Amino acid sequence: RQALEQGLARGASPRLTALDVVGRQSRVTGRREGGVIGLTRYQIEFIERARVHLASGYPELMKKYFELTTRDKRFDRTVMAAIRAGKPVTGEALTKIVGRLRDKNLLLRGEMLARTETMMALSSARDEAMRQQIEAGKVQAQDVTKVWHSAGDSRVRHTHRVLNGKSVGMDEVFQSPSGALLRFPGDPRAPISEISGCRCRLEYKVDHIGAVVRRYRAEVV
Protein backbone atom coordinates (compact mmCIF):
# COMPACT_ATOMS: atom_id res chain seq x y z
CA ARG A 1 0.00 0.00 0.00
CA GLN A 2 2.77 2.40 0.89
CA ALA A 3 4.57 1.78 -2.42
CA LEU A 4 1.34 2.32 -4.36
CA GLU A 5 0.59 5.56 -2.53
CA GLN A 6 4.10 6.87 -3.21
CA GLY A 7 3.86 5.99 -6.89
CA LEU A 8 0.54 7.73 -7.36
CA ALA A 9 1.74 10.74 -5.35
CA ARG A 10 4.58 11.34 -7.79
CA GLY A 11 2.20 11.04 -10.74
CA ALA A 12 3.20 7.60 -12.01
CA SER A 13 0.58 5.64 -13.92
CA PRO A 14 -1.13 2.68 -12.22
CA ARG A 15 0.75 0.27 -14.51
CA LEU A 16 4.18 1.74 -13.72
CA THR A 17 3.34 1.83 -10.02
CA ALA A 18 2.28 -1.81 -10.14
CA LEU A 19 5.58 -2.72 -11.81
CA ASP A 20 7.41 -0.92 -9.01
CA VAL A 21 5.67 -3.23 -6.57
CA VAL A 22 6.01 -6.61 -8.32
CA GLY A 23 9.20 -5.89 -10.28
CA ARG A 24 10.00 -5.79 -13.98
CA GLN A 25 10.76 -8.83 -16.08
CA SER A 26 14.44 -9.10 -16.94
CA ARG A 27 15.23 -9.53 -20.63
CA VAL A 28 18.21 -11.66 -19.65
CA THR A 29 16.85 -14.00 -16.97
CA GLY A 30 13.13 -13.71 -17.66
CA ARG A 31 12.55 -13.26 -13.93
CA ARG A 32 10.99 -10.26 -12.24
CA GLU A 33 13.50 -8.01 -10.51
CA GLY A 34 13.41 -4.78 -8.55
CA GLY A 35 10.07 -5.23 -6.78
CA VAL A 36 9.36 -4.07 -3.24
CA ILE A 37 7.49 -7.16 -2.04
CA GLY A 38 9.42 -8.49 0.94
CA LEU A 39 10.97 -5.15 1.90
CA THR A 40 10.23 -3.40 5.19
CA ARG A 41 8.40 -0.09 5.34
CA TYR A 42 11.65 1.64 6.27
CA GLN A 43 13.49 0.11 3.32
CA ILE A 44 10.75 1.29 0.95
CA GLU A 45 10.99 4.82 2.38
CA PHE A 46 14.79 4.71 2.07
CA ILE A 47 14.64 3.67 -1.59
CA GLU A 48 11.95 6.21 -2.44
CA ARG A 49 14.09 8.94 -0.90
CA ALA A 50 17.01 7.87 -3.11
CA ARG A 51 14.73 8.09 -6.16
CA VAL A 52 13.63 11.61 -5.22
CA HIS A 53 17.24 12.73 -4.76
CA LEU A 54 18.37 11.34 -8.11
CA ALA A 55 15.42 12.82 -9.96
CA SER A 56 15.76 16.22 -8.29
CA GLY A 57 18.52 17.58 -10.52
CA TYR A 58 20.15 19.19 -7.46
CA PRO A 59 23.81 18.10 -7.21
CA GLU A 60 23.93 18.14 -3.40
CA LEU A 61 20.94 15.82 -3.18
CA MET A 62 22.09 13.60 -6.03
CA LYS A 63 25.51 13.13 -4.38
CA LYS A 64 23.78 11.45 -1.43
CA TYR A 65 23.42 8.42 -3.70
CA PHE A 66 27.15 7.70 -3.27
CA GLU A 67 26.64 7.35 0.49
CA LEU A 68 24.39 4.31 0.02
CA THR A 69 26.18 1.07 0.87
CA THR A 70 23.54 -0.99 -0.98
CA ARG A 71 23.88 0.88 -4.28
CA ASP A 72 25.09 -0.85 -7.45
CA LYS A 73 28.40 0.90 -8.12
CA ARG A 74 28.13 0.11 -11.82
CA PHE A 75 25.73 3.07 -12.05
CA ASP A 76 28.10 5.52 -10.35
CA ARG A 77 29.33 6.86 -13.68
CA THR A 78 25.77 7.46 -14.86
CA VAL A 79 24.91 9.42 -11.73
CA MET A 80 28.18 11.38 -11.79
CA ALA A 81 27.65 12.30 -15.45
CA ALA A 82 24.17 13.61 -14.63
CA ILE A 83 25.54 15.66 -11.74
CA ARG A 84 28.26 17.20 -13.92
CA ALA A 85 25.68 18.04 -16.58
CA GLY A 86 23.40 19.56 -13.96
CA LYS A 87 20.57 17.24 -15.02
CA PRO A 88 18.37 14.77 -13.10
CA VAL A 89 18.57 11.03 -13.61
CA THR A 90 15.37 10.03 -15.41
CA GLY A 91 13.79 7.38 -17.59
CA GLU A 92 15.24 3.90 -17.97
CA ALA A 93 18.44 4.82 -16.11
CA LEU A 94 16.50 5.85 -13.00
CA THR A 95 14.35 2.71 -13.22
CA LYS A 96 17.42 0.47 -13.37
CA ILE A 97 19.22 2.24 -10.52
CA VAL A 98 16.21 2.11 -8.21
CA GLY A 99 15.52 -1.49 -9.23
CA ARG A 100 19.01 -2.55 -8.21
CA LEU A 101 18.63 -0.75 -4.90
CA ARG A 102 15.47 -2.75 -4.27
CA ASP A 103 17.15 -6.03 -5.20
CA LYS A 104 20.12 -5.42 -2.91
CA ASN A 105 17.92 -4.37 -0.01
CA LEU A 106 15.75 -7.42 -0.55
CA LEU A 107 18.87 -9.58 -0.38
CA LEU A 108 19.88 -7.80 2.82
CA ARG A 109 16.42 -8.41 4.22
CA GLY A 110 16.64 -12.10 3.31
CA GLU A 111 20.02 -12.47 5.00
CA MET A 112 18.70 -10.79 8.14
CA LEU A 113 15.70 -13.13 8.25
CA ALA A 114 17.97 -16.14 7.74
CA ARG A 115 20.27 -15.10 10.59
CA THR A 116 17.30 -14.44 12.87
CA GLU A 117 15.66 -17.78 12.10
CA THR A 118 18.97 -19.60 12.59
CA MET A 119 19.49 -17.97 15.99
CA MET A 120 15.94 -18.80 17.02
CA ALA A 121 16.39 -22.45 16.06
CA LEU A 122 19.82 -22.74 17.72
CA SER A 123 18.80 -21.07 20.99
CA SER A 124 15.54 -23.04 21.17
CA ALA A 125 17.43 -26.31 20.58
CA ARG A 126 19.97 -25.55 23.32
CA ASP A 127 17.18 -24.68 25.76
CA GLU A 128 15.31 -27.87 24.89
CA ALA A 129 18.49 -29.96 25.26
CA MET A 130 19.04 -28.64 28.79
CA ARG A 131 15.42 -29.30 29.69
CA GLN A 132 15.74 -32.88 28.45
CA GLN A 133 18.73 -33.32 30.77
CA ILE A 134 16.58 -32.05 33.64
CA GLU A 135 13.66 -34.31 32.76
CA ALA A 136 16.02 -37.29 32.59
CA GLY A 137 17.19 -36.53 36.14
CA LYS A 138 20.78 -35.86 35.10
CA VAL A 139 20.60 -32.22 36.18
CA GLN A 140 18.37 -30.36 38.64
CA ALA A 141 16.74 -27.14 37.40
CA GLN A 142 17.72 -25.35 40.62
CA ASP A 143 21.40 -26.01 39.83
CA VAL A 144 21.26 -24.38 36.37
CA THR A 145 22.00 -20.71 35.79
CA LYS A 146 21.62 -18.95 32.42
CA VAL A 147 24.15 -16.20 31.64
CA TRP A 148 23.55 -13.75 28.77
CA HIS A 149 26.53 -12.89 26.55
CA SER A 150 26.31 -10.24 23.82
CA ALA A 151 28.49 -10.24 20.70
CA GLY A 152 30.49 -7.45 22.37
CA ASP A 153 30.75 -4.98 19.49
CA SER A 154 29.19 -1.69 18.42
CA ARG A 155 26.46 -3.47 16.45
CA VAL A 156 24.85 -4.92 19.59
CA ARG A 157 21.51 -3.24 20.32
CA HIS A 158 21.43 -1.11 23.48
CA THR A 159 19.00 -3.38 25.32
CA HIS A 160 21.28 -6.39 24.85
CA ARG A 161 24.38 -4.50 25.94
CA VAL A 162 22.54 -3.94 29.23
CA LEU A 163 21.75 -7.67 29.48
CA ASN A 164 25.35 -8.70 28.87
CA GLY A 165 26.65 -10.69 31.85
CA LYS A 166 23.25 -10.87 33.56
CA SER A 167 22.22 -14.26 34.95
CA VAL A 168 18.88 -15.86 35.87
CA GLY A 169 17.66 -19.30 36.93
CA MET A 170 16.74 -21.99 34.41
CA ASP A 171 13.02 -21.29 34.68
CA GLU A 172 13.40 -17.51 34.91
CA VAL A 173 13.49 -14.95 32.09
CA PHE A 174 15.65 -11.98 31.21
CA GLN A 175 13.91 -8.61 31.26
CA SER A 176 15.09 -6.19 28.61
CA PRO A 177 15.16 -2.43 29.38
CA SER A 178 12.36 -2.24 26.79
CA GLY A 179 10.19 -4.34 29.10
CA ALA A 180 10.34 -7.42 26.88
CA LEU A 181 10.84 -10.82 28.51
CA LEU A 182 13.21 -13.30 26.88
CA ARG A 183 13.94 -16.88 27.84
CA PHE A 184 17.03 -16.79 25.62
CA PRO A 185 18.46 -14.77 22.68
CA GLY A 186 16.18 -15.15 19.67
CA ASP A 187 13.20 -16.14 21.82
CA PRO A 188 10.30 -16.41 19.32
CA ARG A 189 7.90 -15.20 22.01
CA ALA A 190 9.73 -11.84 22.24
CA PRO A 191 9.03 -8.76 20.06
CA ILE A 192 10.80 -8.72 16.69
CA SER A 193 12.66 -5.57 17.78
CA GLU A 194 14.48 -7.72 20.37
CA ILE A 195 15.37 -10.71 18.20
CA SER A 196 15.89 -9.46 14.64
CA GLY A 197 19.54 -10.04 13.71
CA CYS A 198 20.45 -10.88 17.31
CA ARG A 199 23.91 -12.48 17.70
CA CYS A 200 23.88 -12.95 21.49
CA ARG A 201 24.22 -16.35 23.16
CA LEU A 202 23.51 -18.02 26.48
CA GLU A 203 25.92 -19.84 28.72
CA TYR A 204 24.35 -22.58 30.83
CA LYS A 205 26.19 -23.02 34.13
CA VAL A 206 25.50 -26.10 36.24
CA ASP A 207 26.38 -26.00 39.95
CA HIS A 208 27.63 -29.58 40.30
CA ILE A 209 29.20 -28.90 43.70
CA GLY A 210 25.91 -27.58 45.06
CA ALA A 211 24.15 -30.72 43.81
CA VAL A 212 26.71 -32.99 45.55
CA VAL A 213 26.40 -31.05 48.83
CA ARG A 214 22.63 -31.29 48.69
CA ARG A 215 22.73 -35.05 48.09
CA TYR A 216 25.21 -35.49 50.96
CA ARG A 217 23.00 -33.56 53.35
CA ALA A 218 20.01 -35.61 52.28
CA GLU A 219 21.89 -38.85 52.97
CA VAL A 220 23.00 -37.62 56.42
CA VAL A 221 19.43 -36.70 57.37
Please give the pLDDT value at position 30: 64
Q: Which residues of 180-194 are buried (b: 16+ CB within 10 A; e: fewer)?
A: bebbbbbbeebeeeb
Please give the pLDDT value at position 218: 66
Please give the pLDDT value at position 29: 62
Compute mean pLDDT per 10 residues along the chain, 221 residues long, and list them: 72 72 66 70 90 96 96 96 96 92 85 84 94 93 96 94 97 96 95 92 90 68 57
| Helix, strand, or coil (residue 201) | strand
Beta carbons within 10 angstroms of residue 35's beta carbon:
19
Please give the pLDDT value at position 6: 73
Please give the pLDDT value at position 151: 93
Please give the pLDDT value at position 220: 62
Of 90, 104, 187, 196, the closest CA to residue 146 belongs to 187
Please give the pLDDT value at position 16: 73
Instruction: Report the amino acid identity of residue 21.
Output: V
Please give the pLDDT value at position 217: 67
Please give the pLDDT value at position 107: 80
Please give the pLDDT value at position 180: 96
Please give the pLDDT value at position 7: 73
